[in-house]
Structure 1
Amino acid sequence: MNRTPQEWIRLSLRTPGIFIFGLVLAPCGWILNLTATVAPNWRTLHGIPDIPPTDFIQQGIWEICRSTTANTRQDCSLQDTTYFGNQLITIAQGLMVASLIVTIIGLAVAIPGVRCWTDRPNWIVAGLGGVLIFLSGVMIIIPIAWYTHILKSISSVSPTTDVRVGYCIILGYIGGIFEILAGFVMFIGICRCCGGRNRGETRINEVTGVRFGNLKQPVRRVEVPSLDRSRSVVSSVPYSKDSMDDDVSFPRAKSPPVRTINTSYGGRPYDADL
C-alpha cells in the first residue's frame, strides 16, 4: 500500500489524552452543577428582625429554608413570592435545568466518538459532543455570575443587611469551569494541530525516519579475501618448525656458523678469544 507524505498514523490504540481529560471533568462538573441546582443555599440572610439571632434563612432557586446554628434541623416550608418573582430566579431555573440536560446529551454524543478500540476515533462526533458540553458550562456560568453580581439587591420579604454568598454559588462556578474546559479540549480534536500531538498522531516519515522523494541507497558491502594460510587437510597436527621452513617460497638467510674456542692452545687466552 503506497503512503503519501501527508498521511498520519497513531502510535497506539490508547484513548487520546484530550478525550480522557474531557470525560473526567464533564461528569464531575455535572455533579457539582446538580448540587448547585437543587440545594437551597444560593445566599444566606442573617440578622433578620423578629427571629432569634441563631437563626438564618437560606435561599435557593427552588425553595427557601430556615436553619439554626443550634442544630441541623431545617424548615423548608417558607414561601416568598417576592423573591421568586425576580426575573433572575426564573431565568436561573431554566438555564440550570437546561445545562444539566445538555451535558448528558453531550456525553452521549461524545462517548461513541471516543472509542479506543479503533485506529482512528471519530473526531467529528467527539468534537460535537465537546461543543455541547462547552455550551452547558456557559449556561451554568451565566446565572451564577448574574446572581453574584446582584446578590444584595435581590428583593425579598425578609429585609436584612447581612447577606452572604451560599455554597451553591461556589459549586456552580467550579462545575461550570470544569465543563467549559472539558468541552474545549474535546473540541480541539476536530482540527489537527501542534504537529498532531493533540490527537496522539505523527507523520509516517517521522516514524520511519525516511524522507519521501530522497531515499538513501543501501550501503554496498565489499568482501575482502582472507590472508590466513589454511592448514593441511591431511592431518590436524600443526606444522613443525622444519616443515614451516621448507614451505617458504623465498630463500631464507643462512645462519652464521658457530664459533668454537680452540682448547689446544696452551697459552693464556686473551679477552678477544673469549
Structure 2
Amino acid sequence: MRLSLRTPGILIFGMVMAPCGWVLDLVATVAPNWRTLSNVNTLSSDRFIEQGIWDICIASTISSGAQCGQTDTQYFSNKIIQPAQGMMVASLIVTLIGLAVAIPGVRCWKDRPNWVVAGVGGLLIFCSGVLTIIPISWYTHSPPNITTPNVNTALITTRVGYCIILGYIGGIFEVLGGFVMFIGICRCCGGKNRGEVRVEEVMRHREPKIPARRVEVPNLSRARSAANPLMPTCEKPTVPSTTDHQHRKRKL
C-alpha cells in the first residue's frame, strides 16, 4: 500500500546511477588512454605513448599537447581491440535504451509505478554494465599480449590508463543501478522493496488514542468550619472608632 506518489527509493537509485555510469563509459570509450607506454627506445625520455581502442597519442611530460591520430595497424589488429570497440559502443546504446524503457515505468504521478516496465529497463541497464566490464577486464588481464610495432613491450614500462578506471566505475554503477531496479519486478518482504507499507501498520497508526483519565484533586484551601475551631482563619481586625475612645475617657 503506497501512502504517497513519491518515486520508490530503488527506482531513484537506479535512475541516478545509470546516467552517471553512462557518462563514465563514454569517456572510457572515446579517450585514448587505456594504457600508457613509457621509456620507449624510439622516443625521448620525456615522451610516452597513450593507447586507446580508437586512437593512439604521443604525449610529453613537459608539455600539455599531444600528437594524436598515430597509425598503428599492428596494435589495432590485436584480437582484443575490435571486440572491445563493439562491446563499449553496444554498452552505450543499451544503456540509452534501458533508460528510455525505464522512464515511463518510474513515473511518480500514478498511484504506483509500472514495475514490469521499470524492471525490464533495469535489466537492460544491468546488461550494459556487464558489456562494459568484460572488455575492460580483458584488456587489463592481457597487456603483455597486446603488441605494437617497433616497440618491445618487455623492455618498456606499461601502466594502466585512466580509461580503465573510469570504465570499471561506470560498469559497476550500471550493474548496481540496473540490479536494484530489477529487484522491484517481484514484490517481496511485504512490499518494502517497493517502498510500500503494510495495511496493518497503517491502520494501527490511524487508531484513535484513548485519552488519559482525569483525576480530581481535592482543593485544600477551604474556610474554617464550625466543627474544626482550631484551624486559623484570616479575620479582619476591628479598629476602635473615635467615639468609643471619648466615651471611655468620660467614665474615667
Structure 1 segments unaligned to the other structure (5+ residues): 1-8, 211-274
TM-score, normalised relative to structure 2: 0.78
Task: Tell whether 2:44 aligns with 1:52.
Answer: yes
From 76, 82, 91, the equivalent of 1:90 is 82
Report the secondary structure of 1:163's partner residue: strand
2:135 alignment counterpart: 143
TM-score, normalised relative to structure 1: 0.72
2:93 alignment counterpart: 101
Q: Counterparts of 1:43-192 in structure 2 under 5 Å?
A: 43-157=35-149, 158-160=151-153, 161-192=156-187
Equivalent residue letter for 1:21: F
2:195 alignment counterpart: 200
For residues 24-65 of structure 1, give each alpha carbon's deviation from its aligned partner in whole angstroms, at most 9, with x where no partner exists: 100000000000000000000001112110000000000100
Equivalent residue letter for 1:201: E
Equivalent residue letter for 2:104: P
More deviation in 137-146 or 69-78?
Answer: 69-78
* TM-superposed deviation, 1:77: 2.5
**Does the 8 Å contact 1:11/1:200 carry over to 2?**
no
For residues 184-203 of structure 1, give each alpha carbon's deviation from its aligned partner in whole angstroms, at most 9, with x where no partner exists: 00000101112211111123
* TM-superposed deviation, 1:181: 0.2
Residues in 2 aligned to 1:90 and 1:62: alpha-carbon distance in whole angstroms = 9
Equivalent residue letter for 1:207: V
Structure 2 segments unaligned to the other structure (5+ residues): 206-252
Residues in 2 aligned to 1:205 and 1:104: alpha-carbon distance in whole angstroms = 40
Equivalent residue letter for 1:25: M
* TM-superposed deviation, 1:15: 0.3
* TM-superposed deviation, 1:179: 0.1
Report the secondary structure of 1:189's partner residue: helix
Structure in which a larger fraction of residues adopt helix: 2
Residues in 1 aligned to 2:14 and 2:70: alpha-carbon distance in whole angstroms = 40
Equivalent residue letter for 2:30: V
2:18 alignment counterpart: 26
For residues 193-243 of structure 1, give each alpha carbon's deviation from its aligned partner in whole angstroms, at most 9, with x where no partner exists: 122111111232331139xxxxxxxxxxxxxxxxxxxxxxxxxxxxxxxxx
Identity in percent? 66
Residues in 2 aligned to 1:100 and 1:88: alpha-carbon distance in whole angstroms = 18
Equivalent residue letter for 2:165: I
Report the secondary structure of 1:141's partner residue: helix
Task: Tell whether 2:49 aligns with 1:42.
Answer: no
* TM-superposed deviation, 1:153: 2.2
Equivalent residue letter for 1:159: N
Residues in 2 aligned to 1:51 and 1:87: alpha-carbon distance in whole angstroms = 26
1:5 alignment counterpart: none
Over aligned residues, Cα RMSD in angstroms? 1.1
Report the secondary structure of 2:84's partner residue: helix
* TM-superposed deviation, 1:11: 1.8
Equivalent residue letter for 1:140: T
Runs of 4+ in 1 over 3 A off after TM superposition: none
**Does the 8 Å contact 1:134/1:181 carry over to 2?**
yes
